[in-house]
Structure 1
Amino acid sequence: MNNALVTGASGGIGKLIVKRLIEQDYFVIGVGRNEKSLRELSSLRNFDYIIADLSKRGVAKRIRRELEQRGVKKLDILINNAGFAIAKPLLEQSEEELEKLFKVNVIAPILLTKELSDMIPRGGKVVFVISAAAFVNTVDLPSYGAAKAALHYMAVNLEKELKSKNIYVIKVYPRQVATPFWHEKVPKGSISPEEVADVLLKAIKKNKSEVYVPAYVRLVKYLPRWPVFDYKFKF
């Protein structure tokens, strides 16, 4: 049986990805902070979970230890999906808020990939759920957009590094998605998490390097840097 690890598995896109993978006969380990939500998923066959806060120092090594203690020696797919945003001007964001945001959105996925890379076999996949915000100026979510731009940059370079190990990197760029991420203030035109999960799973099957959801979002890569996009909301 193939194994997969999904971060941000307790809700939104992550929860759907877990269910889709289980439907395809994967054994899935979900990582998240919401134990109640993860425990609900544990009623599914072929599912286990790890409670972890990706903003904490040393969390990648702890996740590695948890996997080893549970007898998981191989990961066919690693999906770095966890993320969150702060809807405040940069001058109002504290040092602690900025550190936590960049740890979860940028540093944790890179360190987790590094820590687990030797568990990923030849032909395995590492998925980064990034965002179209990597290519536009999201004025209401300035630190989030900056973090996603940083993750994009790192994922592009990590793709080259992992190629020598025959590990595929898949980068996913959705536009805003209707999930609890928005704290019940979902922007107009948001797409469904089901659409993102379905596109992501197809990309895994076809070994695509990058996918955009919807497909036309690809056009933002070719706009003048940096076009302004204002969500016009506050959490």
Structure 2
Amino acid sequence: MTNSATSSTDLRFSGRVAIVTGAGSGIGRATAVALAASGARVLGVGRRKEALQETARAHSRIAILPLDIRGDDAAQTVVAAAVERWGRLDVLVNNAGATAVMPLAETDRSVITELFGLNVTAPSMLAHAALPYLRESSGSVVNVSSTYGHRPLAGGAHYAATKSAVEQLTRSWALEVAADGVRVNAVAPGPTATDVLVAAGLAPEAVNSMLAYERDRIPAGRLADPGDIAEWILRVADPAVTHLTGQVITVDGGLELV
């Protein structure tokens, strides 16, 4: 990736500290690397230690914390790890999440609970734990939503509902903490070339079929690369962008237009 997010002359986050969840792969890894390349000290958080180690090898300014952010004390542990290591916190990227293919006829209570636990409750607790430090630094929260946070998804209604919740949290938090100098925005990716569908338990053939279908619908003619999304996460978190808050930026190659 050769965009401004990873340019060696782009140090817009110099002296800043960021937490990125779901940093072991995909959008989270791309975001952690892009923030580090732009001068930030980054704490990459995720459940898979080996995947996080691979992310950390991509840049010397990335430290890692293998941890399940759904745990009762996880949010405090994550924030404390960053603050104790570097003395401040400027950016929280709530990227970790899961999807599920679950038609209404196959609805499973445990799947709903797990989706909301990871996609809604965990980022809420992280934002809560980070808020005192973000107030001190006039920092920002970037939530990762989805184009399906504001459009229907047949067969994936509960996933879409979690992302719709993320977008309402974004707007409501932004209104609540604006007077404190803290900004809250969201980036909503369209179909992106990551392993999220494989992680959801779909067979490779089904994943390839779904991605081909999505690719054919996107006016830009391709799936997003994780770096495309990371660039927009950096843009909305940029310390120089002081007047943007409560916004959901959709990055989907024009899919919303069709």
Equivalent position amino acid for 1:202 in 2: R
| Aligned residue-pair number | 219
Q: Is 1:152 matched up with 2:167?
A: yes
Equivalent position amino acid for 1:152 in 2: E
Q: Is the 8 A contact 1:122 1:165 kept in 2?
A: no
Deviation, 1:146, is 0.7
For residues 227 and 56 of structure 2, the distance between their equivalents in structure 1, rounded to whole angstroms, comes to: 20
Work out the percentage of aligned pairs sharing the same amino acid. Answer: 26
For residues 218 and 143 of structure 1, the distance between their equivalents in structure 2, rounded to whole angstroms, comes to: 20
SS in structure 2 at match of 1:140: coil
Equivalent position amino acid for 1:59 in 2: A
Deviation, 1:116, is 1.1
Residue 250 of structure 2 is matched in structure 1 by 212
Q: Is 1:139 matched up with 2:186?
A: no
Residue 16 of structure 1 is matched in structure 2 by 30
Deviation, 1:54, is 2.3
Q: Which deviates more from structure 2 when the two are superposed, residues 113-122 or residues 84-93?
A: 84-93
Q: Is the 8 A contact 1:54 1:103 kept in 2?
A: no
The 5 A counterparts of 1:68-217 are 68=83, 70-120=84-134, 121-183=136-198, 184=204, 185-186=207-208, 187=211, 188-189=214-215, 190-205=223-238, 206-207=241-242, 208-209=244-245, 210=247, 211-214=249-252, 216=254
Deviation, 1:56, is 2.7
Deviation, 1:173, is 1.4
For residues 72 and 103 of structure 2, the distance between their equivalents in structure 1, rounded to whole angstroms, comes to: 26
For residues 180 and 71 of structure 2, the distance between their equivalents in structure 1, rounded to whole angstroms, comes to: 28
Q: Is 1:39 matched up with 2:53?
A: yes
SS in structure 1 at match of 2:184: strand
Unpaired stretches in structure 2, ≥5 consecutive residues:
1-14, 199-203, 216-222
SS in structure 2 at match of 1:85: coil
Deviation, 1:148, is 0.5
SS in structure 2 at match of 1:176: coil
In structure 2, relative to structure 1, the CA distance for the partners of 1:155 and 1:62 (3 Å cut) is same
Q: Is the 8 A contact 1:90 1:143 kept in 2?
A: no
Given the two structures, how large is their TM-score scaled by the length of structure 2?
0.78
Unpaired stretches in structure 1, ≥5 consecutive residues:
221-235
Q: Is the 8 A contact 1:9 1:15 kept in 2?
A: yes
Cα offsets for 1:165-197 (capped at 9, x unmatched) = 101112111112111012241523232212111
Equivalent position amino acid for 1:194 in 2: G
In structure 2, relative to structure 1, the CA distance for the partners of 1:166 and 1:215 (3 Å cut) is farther
Equivalent position amino acid for 1:212 in 2: T
For residues 49 and 90 of structure 1, the distance between their equivalents in structure 2, rounded to whole angstroms, comes to: 38
SS in structure 2 at match of 1:138: coil
Structural RMSD (CA): 2.0
Deviation, 1:215, is 6.7
The 5 A counterparts of 1:57-76 are 57-68=72-83, 70-76=84-90
SS in structure 2 at match of 1:9: coil
Deviation, 1:64, is 3.1
For residues 63 and 204 of structure 1, the distance between their equivalents in structure 2, rounded to whole angstroms, comes to: 19
Q: Is the 8 A contact 2:43 2:65 kept in 1?
A: yes
Q: Is the 8 A contact 1:175 1:213 kept in 2?
A: yes
Given the two structures, how large is their TM-score scaled by the length of structure 1?
0.85
For residues 139 and 109 of structure 2, the distance between their equivalents in structure 1, rounded to whole angstroms, comes to: 37
SS in structure 2 at match of 1:156: helix
Residue 28 of structure 1 is matched in structure 2 by 42
Cα offsets for 1:13-34 (capped at 9, x unmatched) = 0000011111111100001001
Q: Which deviates more from structure 2 when the two are superposed, residues 54-63 or residues 110-119?
A: 54-63
